[in-house]
Structure 1
Amino acid sequence: MKTASVLMSALMAGAMSLAPQAFAQTVHYPGGKSTFDGKCAVCHQAGGRGMDGLAPPLVEYPGKYAGTSEGRAQLGHTVMYGMFGPIKVKEKSYNFKMPSFASLSDEEIADVLNYVVFDLNAEHGAARPFDAAEVKAWRAGPLDQTAVHQQRASVIKGLGL
């Protein structure tokens, strides 16, 4: 019995020493991570895991959105112009007024979107990276937060989410 206890203690110690490595995040977009950590993580939390009732997780839907032009525009418009109103993500409800981050440069918005889609989302299908030119094109047709909310509903329906 004492041998089993010693063995269990050794296994636990080994597992604990590996834990930080097992959950280490590979970051391909460090500029986007920096922007996310400074502007977005306060509500969406570190790693984009979300905060119940307040801000939805960003670890699944953005990867799915990024594969369509409508979804890509919705992601960009959400960051640029903000969004408010009730939404559901995986049967959980959120109702938060996301602020506008239009003051970020086109490059910063592209970087943060790339971080969210490619570093936080394990699956992103055939999505291609965002670039500043794409963000600049979205700025040419500004939306208010209500329109961004309606756009999201259309994207969700189109993707069957």
Structure 2
Amino acid sequence: MKVTTTLIAAALACGASFAEAQAVQYAGGKTTFDGKCVVCHQAGGKGMDGLAPPLVEYPGKYAGTDEGRRHLGHTVLYGMFGPIKVKDKSYNFKMPSFASMSDAEIAEVLNYVVFDLNAQHGSAKPFDAEQIKALRASPVDGSAVHAQRESVVKSLGL
């Protein structure tokens, strides 16, 4: 009886893992996130107090506007530094540039963040490699990305 109970519990645990895996629309983006972003932004994009902000709400809202989409792409491409606030918490993080990643990889990781980590993403449409390629054509530095963020936050009333 004890063995049967253990087997049932194991099967249920595998089923939960399988269901969670099915919920991910952008598996390539998750793989990239887990390999490059999770060390600071933590599993599931929950963030790290004082260092890296959570990615489970604002990116979904940003992705619904052209300015917000530009900001998200520039953040991954060129990094960002300087103090920011997300809700009532402050972060002072120097996000590195990930410009060495391909346009497709950046689009996939942004799609993972916007659509898989954010329950609310409104009318946002997926990123594609062409959009990232266009952003590369007008490089900016991390301080400009920080200023861009302030504008996006203000325009969205966050």
Assess same fold via TM > 0.5: yes
Who is 2:126 aligned against?
129
Who is 1:157 aligned against?
154
Who is 1:102 aligned against?
99
Query: What displacement does 1:91 show?
Result: 1.0
Q: Whole-Å Cα distance in 1 between the matches of residues 101 and 157 of structure 2? A: 31
Who is 2:39 aligned against?
42
Q: What is the SS of the residue equivalent to 2:134?
A: helix
2:20 to 11, 18, 24: 24
Q: Which residue type is aligned with residue 138 of structure 1? A: L
Structure 1 runs not aligned, ≥5 long: 1-13
1:61 to 58, 61, 64: 58
Aligned residues: 148
Q: Whole-Å Cα distance in 1 between the matches of residues 93 and 125 of structure 2? A: 29
Q: What is the SS of the residue equivalent to 2:91?
A: strand
Does residue 73 (structure 1) correspond to residue 55 (structure 2)? The answer is no
Percent identity, aligned pairs only, is 74
2:138 to 141, 144, 150: 141
User: Which moves more between the two structures, 24-33 or 118-127?
Assistant: 24-33
1:86-109 alpha-carbon deviations (Å, 9 max, x no partner): 000011000010000000000000
Structure 2 runs not aligned, ≥5 long: 1-8
Query: What displacement does 1:145 show?
Result: 0.4
The TM-score with structure 2 as length reference comes to 0.88
Q: What is the SS of the residue equivalent to 1:28?
A: coil
The TM-score with structure 1 as length reference comes to 0.86
Query: What displacement does 1:21 show?
Result: 2.8
Q: What is the SS of the residue equivalent to 1:123?
A: coil
Who is 2:4 aligned against?
none
1:59-90 alpha-carbon deviations (Å, 9 max, x no partner): 00000000000000000000000000000001
Does residue 33 (structure 1) correspond to residue 27 (structure 2)? The answer is no
Give the superposed CA RMSD. Answer: 2.0
